[in-house]
Amino acid sequence: MGLLKELCTINLSEIGRELHLFAAKLYPICRSITGDGIRKTLNVIQRKIPLQIHEVQTGTSVFDWKIPKEWNIRNAYIKAPDGQFVVDFQQCNLHVVNYSKPIHATLPLSEIRPHLFTIPDEPDWIPYRTSYYNEDWGFCLTHNQMLTLEDGDYEVSIDATLEDGHLTYGECYLAGRSSDEVLISCHICHPSLANDNLSGLAVATFLAQHLSGRDLRYSYRFLFIPGTIGAITWLAQNKETVERIRNGLVLSCVGDAKGFHYKKSRRGDAEIDRAVACVLRECNEPLEILDFSPYGYDERQYCSPGFNLPVGCLMRSVWGTFPEYHTSADNMDFILPESLGGSFQACVAIVDALERNQKYINQNPFCEPQLGRRNLYKATGVESDGREINARLWVLNLSDGENSLLDIAERSGMSFSLICDAAELLNQSGLLRVMPA
């Protein structure tokens, strides 16, 4: 049974609930681009799928970058002159600017203010801020909280370490019949942020679990990496593997209530770009296709000119365009079980399309074969509108070894699954043969 047909027998709303629970388990962890938050996250993922965990030393050169110092945080707070906590890291890990250097001092409010960040337009939300490559410290709080601060001396404490250590990432490799690979990549470096971070990693984990142990045409490589520096590190250290990547997908922001957005690879017409467009147009959710741009998630690195890999990015809401983006409102209520389940289903459909998209050769190319004699001139489905027969005729006509099933679906305007079903039936009847890769 194909991956997608089997999915029809699975309870998707149950998978959606499981995805949401899985994300909820990871939500409280304070992640960053290095440190124990990433290790804890990978350990949770490792309970579901075979995951190799890599540690790359601080100072290691990766293309134009260097692995930064490792950051770990235990606690942080600001105490008002009356001893009350103004902000408390234990309440919300977004309160500390991610990668803040340690500090413990008593300072007048005027000296603290430049280190405080709020969102005046959303006065009840806490922003998410980072300072990875510029050693500094800071706190994030709600604007309403900031408005209550009165002059006086405040105790600021960030109990963190920023020292030589490692960058950690996880890799799950599922071997298929071919060494050609499909890359699935997600970032795992954001603290308590649900859509931007946890939704992608949850769907990637469940997809790896779903594909694990199957007879697959492609090999699949799942990367759970810190954004930007993680992708750069992996690319720098895996140049030989890179050459085997035939298709790839970055997953992010796949848990909110909106329809799908797919950002095409830099190539624009790669198999993955066409497969996603073809497959997601058939699903019941809205789909918008976006051209490549050199900003966004790790597709920026995979699609840098030196690599130019066929890697696109699947999202629901696009990063930076929804008000909850990089704020405390991107929480577990912002991602929905049904959206996560729908994204998982879409990913399975995309993988199914890549697995099935082959070239066939018509074994009877001189005029049409007599389909009636082979019982192929009547529809097997409930529709008797001839679509199945037309799909067979399209597949027979265009299966000259030049056209893939995706080419045939695009040229005929018929659904990809109908074309695939036709090809598989004709293959069984001996009228087609799979063209060797």
- List interacting residues with Zn ion (CB under 5 A): 196
What number of other Cβ atoms are within 10 A of residue 124's Cβ? 12
Which residue lies nearer to Zn ion by CB, 77 or 128? Answer: 128
Considering only the C-alpha atoms of the chain, give the largest distance between any 2 of them, rounded to a whole number of Å: 93
Q: Which of 236, 203, 224, 205 is nearest to 302 (CA)?
A: 236
* CB of 330 or CB of 355, closer to Zn ion: 330
Q: In 31-75, which ranges are continuous DSSP H helix?
A: 36-46
d(CA 377, CA 393): 10
Dihedral sign from CA coordinates of 321, 30, 249, 303: positive
Residues 6 or more apart whose Cβ sits within 8 Å of residue 93: 28, 30, 73, 191, 192
* Nearer residue to Zn ion within complex by CB, 68 or 200: 200
- Whichever of 36 and 196 has its CB closer to Zn ion, that residue is 196
Cβ at position 426, least distance to Zn ion in Å: 47
Kindly give the residue spans of alpha helices, DSSP state H, lying in 282-336: 299-302
Nearest distance, CB of residue 306 and Zn ion, angstroms: 24
Query: 324 vs 355, which CB is nearer to Zn ion?
Result: 324
Pairing of strands 181-187, 219-225: parallel
Q: Closest approach of Cβ 386 to Zn ion, in Å?
A: 49
* Position of minimal CB gap to Zn ion: 196
Q: Smallest gap, in angstroms, from Cβ of residue 398 to Zn ion?
A: 43
Q: Please, what is the minimum distance in Å from the beta carbon of residue 254 to Zn ion? A: 13
Residue 34 or 247: the one with the smaller Cβ distance to Zn ion is 34
CB of 142 to Zn ion, least distance (A): 20
Question: CB 339: neighbour CB atoms within 10 A?
Answer: 26
Torsion of CA 407, 409, 413, 415, to 10 degrees: -160
